[in-house]
Amino acid sequence: MKKLMKGNEAIAEAAVRGGCRFFAGYPITPQNEIPEYMSWRLFEVGGQFVQSESEVAAINMVYGAAAAGTRAMTSSSSPGISLKQEGISYIAGAELPCVIINMVRGGPGLGGIQPAQSDYFQATKGGGHGDYHMLVYGPNSVQECVDILYNAFDKADEYRIPVMILGDGMLGQIMEAVELPEMKDIEKLPKKDWAATGSGVGENRRIVNSLYIEPDALEELNHRQFEKYDLIASRETRYEEYLCDDAEIVLTAYGTVARIAKSAVNILREQGIKAGLLRPVTLYPFPNEAFLKVANNPTVQRFVCSELSMGQMIEDVKLAIECKKPVDFFGRTGGNVMTPEDIVEFVKGEVKK
């Protein structure tokens, strides 16, 4: 049975049902409903909630909980995620699984509380120091948030990697009907033989660490990590293709903007313009093969990338299609959100002229 829920609250409930038993966070708009929900819900299932003294403290608490084998999560919004970057790099370096939610707001600086997508580079290129990546999703609906969150801890555990959900203020505040999955039995989850639980002594003791003094050991870690990223790319890359078979103009967008772009595709089709939509669901790994396949379609004349930023994902689009077709950009920023009609006008006025 479906239930009407606000995006942030649905995300929190999906995390609990997916096995999350530790949450640490610090308030910031527009994600505050996530920690508020977790503050009472986790105790109902035997979990722990901590409102930390800062974002820096929160991410390091997640490091500790994850190192002990607990399914751990934190959430924040743009400036708060920036403060967590050192800890995220440490978590990646220690090969710890966790889930991080970023309900993006406008920037730079404190910016505003309205929705944005200007944290794409930070999320997909590694916002902290060193060579690392996270598995990054860009869901476009509350239901997709629920579906992804429910399995995000499984993915994090399988690959021992941080998983990030890159949302925005719209996605967090919108209310939609969702189908909630069953509660996972955490007692049946695979045991973590690497977790620092106090087991083992001497040479068999378990150590969680991101410090590698020997250059060869650190180089080996980096090579091992990137082999893992290649494996993730082969197994976990996700995308949606909509009316691209005969499309002349291919719109591309992620998250909530992709819903706006899909409406624009339908309007353009009604007006006789053959448009389609290619939406990445995983932002890292980016669906390069899918984009190149569409770019090689002889009917495709050009791409139009729409974002709530000055243009960030567009760089990955250009790289993916190997510059075989022109890529135009249409974006809004500062917390402003385009309408389907805005995209239609751009396509007709700037691309089709």
3-state secondary structure 133-168: CCEEECCCCHHHHHHHHHHHHHHHHHHCCEEEEEEE
CATH topology of domain 240-351: Rossmann fold (3.40.50)
Question: In the chain, what is the greatest distance between 2 CA atoms, to the nearest angstrom?
Answer: 73
Domain ranges of the chain: 2-193+208-236, 240-351
Domain 240-351 in the same topology as domain 2-193+208-236: yes
Q: Which residues contact 174 (CB under 8 A, 6 or more apart)?
A: 6, 7, 142, 256
Sheet with 135-137, strands from edge to edge, namely: 48-51, 22-25, 72-76, 98-104, 162-168, 135-137, 282-284
Contact criterion met (CB below 8 Å) for 63 and 96:
yes
Average pLDDT over residues 19-46: 97
Q: How confident is the model at residue 126 (pLDDT cuts 50, 70, 90)?
A: confident
pLDDT at residue 119 is higher than 90:
yes
Nearest to 25 by CA among 43, 38, 16, 7: 38
Q: Does domain 2-193+208-236 have CATH number 2.40.30.30?
A: no
Instruction: Supply φ then ψ for residue 118, to 5 degrees.
Output: -85, 10
pLDDT at residue 202 is higher than 90:
no
Q: What is the pLDDT of residue 236?
A: 98
Q: What is the pLDDT of residue 206?
A: 86
Instruction: Supply φ then ψ for residue 95, to 5 degrees.
Output: 55, 50
Contact criterion met (CB below 8 Å) for 40 and 182:
no
Contact criterion met (CB below 8 Å) for 279 and 252:
yes
In three-state secondary structure terms, 287 is: coil
Contact criterion met (CB below 8 Å) for 127 and 82:
yes
> Which tens digit of pLDDT belongs to each residue from 210-267?
999 999 999 999 999 999 999 999 999 999 999 999 999 999 999 999 999 999 999 9
DSSP E strands in the chain: the ranges are: 2-6, 22-25, 48-51, 72-76, 98-104, 135-137, 162-168, 175-179, 239-242, 249-252, 275-280, 282-284, 302-307, 327-331
DSSP category for residue 220: H
Q: How confident is the model at residue 111 (pLDDT cuts 50, 70, 90)?
A: very high
What's the rounded Cα separation, in Å, for the pair 150 and 181?
8
For 50-64, 277-291, 337-351, which range has the lowest pLDDT when averaged over its residues?
337-351
Q: What is the pLDDT of residue 353?
A: 61
Arithmetic mean of pLDDT over the chain: 96
Q: How confident is the model at residue 204 (pLDDT cuts 50, 70, 90)?
A: confident
Average pLDDT over residues 91-105: 97
Query: How big is the chain by its Cα radius of gyration, in Å?
Result: 21
pLDDT at residue 155 is higher than 60:
yes
Higher pLDDT, 198 or 120: 120
pLDDT at residue 271 is higher than 80:
yes
pTM higher than 0.85 for the full model?
Answer: yes
pLDDT at residue 352 is higher than 70:
no
Tokens 């090969």, located at residue: 95
Q: How confident is the model at residue 198 (pLDDT cuts 50, 70, 90)?
A: confident
What's the rounded Cα separation, in Å, for the pair 149 and 52?
22
pLDDT at residue 92 is higher than 80:
yes
Q: What is the pLDDT of residue 32?
A: 97
pLDDT at residue 39 is higher than 80:
yes
pLDDT at residue 122 is higher than 90:
yes
Bridge partner list, 303: 250, 327
∠ CA 70-76-81, rounded to 5°:
95
What's the rounded Cα separation, in Å, for the pair 27 and 174?
19
Q: How confident is the model at residue 207 (pLDDT cuts 50, 70, 90)?
A: confident
Average pLDDT over residues 177-198: 94
> Which tens digit of pLDDT belongs to each residue from 295-332?
999 999 999 999 999 999 999 999 999 999 999 999 99
Contact criterion met (CB below 8 Å) for 162 and 100:
yes
